[in-house]
Chains A and B, each alone.
Chain A
Amino acid sequence: MSNQAVTQSSAQAGPGREDAALLPPVDVIEDATGITLYADLPGVPKDRLNVRVEGETLLIDADLVLAVPQDMQASHAEVQRTHYRRAFTLSRELDPDKVSAELNQGVLRLRIPKAEHAQPRRIDVQVS
């Protein structure tokens, strides 16, 4: 439990709590050199996505934009909010300055590499 590199922090307390947001489903996969995070954010255009690292917290904030006809009456809605939010706590060996993000067809892919000192290294044995 405690050795997970990315642990999900509980919902943000304080400001920003009052508007409930959609919690996007994610996959978090770790390999030797870093962590890859996939998040489902359907309906989010690139300019309405906000990924940022504040201290040790990784925040994903996004707005769902749908082109809906003016006179449309909703009859069935499984997605009822227009804002996505999710936060994760990063662990120390991850490098928050080198996070890269790409958004493709509603899927956000984040790559968080491990810091230089945490990369696996092979130590050559010297034979004298």
Chain B
Amino acid sequence: MYRSLFPRDLFAEFDRLQRELQQSFDTVSPSIRGFARGYPALNVGSTPKSVEVYAFAPGIDPARIEIHLERGVLTIEGERPSTVAADDGKTTAHINERFAGRFRRVLSLPDDIDPAAVNASFRDGVLHVSVQRRESTQPRRIEVQ
């Protein structure tokens, strides 16, 4: 391919350079669904007595989040309305990065959880689901008679 030694469109050239640089930094190929890890982002941790799930779901009406626990699989789903209104000719969206639309995240929990002892709370855009582990699986000390 012929490429001019002295490109006329300097900005296009900068743009290409920037893209090439960007690509060389991203050593791993991006997922086909993009770089985002999905919405909401999830953090999961465990304590001896419970499993703690944090879903970072800003801008969601907590009453409209569906949380299901079925056979040890936790599903969080809902819909997030878009703030970028339909183009009416009067507004311009310069940057549009925030997630909008339906979402669903599925998480498989350990075997020893108690499906009846689930607590969910929502604060500052973070959904916290706490699932207790079953009493019977807790380590116990057995007294010798």
Chain B CB within 8 A of A124 CB:
no
Q: How many Å lie between the Cα of A43 and that of B40 in the bound state?
A: 12
Interface size on B, residues (CB 8 A): 39
Q: How far is the CB of B18 from chain A (nearest CB, A)?
A: 11
Q: Are A75 and B126 in contact (CB under 8 A)?
A: no
Chain A CB within 8 A of B37 CB:
yes
Chain B CB within 8 A of A107 CB:
yes
Using known A-B contacts A27-B96, A43-B56, determine if residue A73 contacts B41 with beta carbons closer than 8 Å: no
Q: Are A28 and B41 in contact (CB under 8 A)?
A: no
Q: Are B93 and A105 in contact (CB under 8 A)?
A: no
Q: Are A73 and B47 in contact (CB under 8 A)?
A: yes
Chain A residues 1 to 51 lying within 8 A of chain B, measured CB to CB, are: 1, 4-6, 8, 25-32, 38, 40-45
Which A residues lie within 8 Å of B83 (CB)?
Answer: 27, 29, 38
* Candidates A25, A66, A74; contact of B99 at CB < 8 Å: A25
Chain B residues 48 to 93 lying within 8 A of chain A, measured CB to CB, are: 48, 50, 52, 54, 56-60, 62, 83-85, 90-93
- B contacts, CB < 8 Å to A: 11, 37, 40-48, 50, 52, 54, 56-60, 62, 83-85, 90-99, 122-126, 128
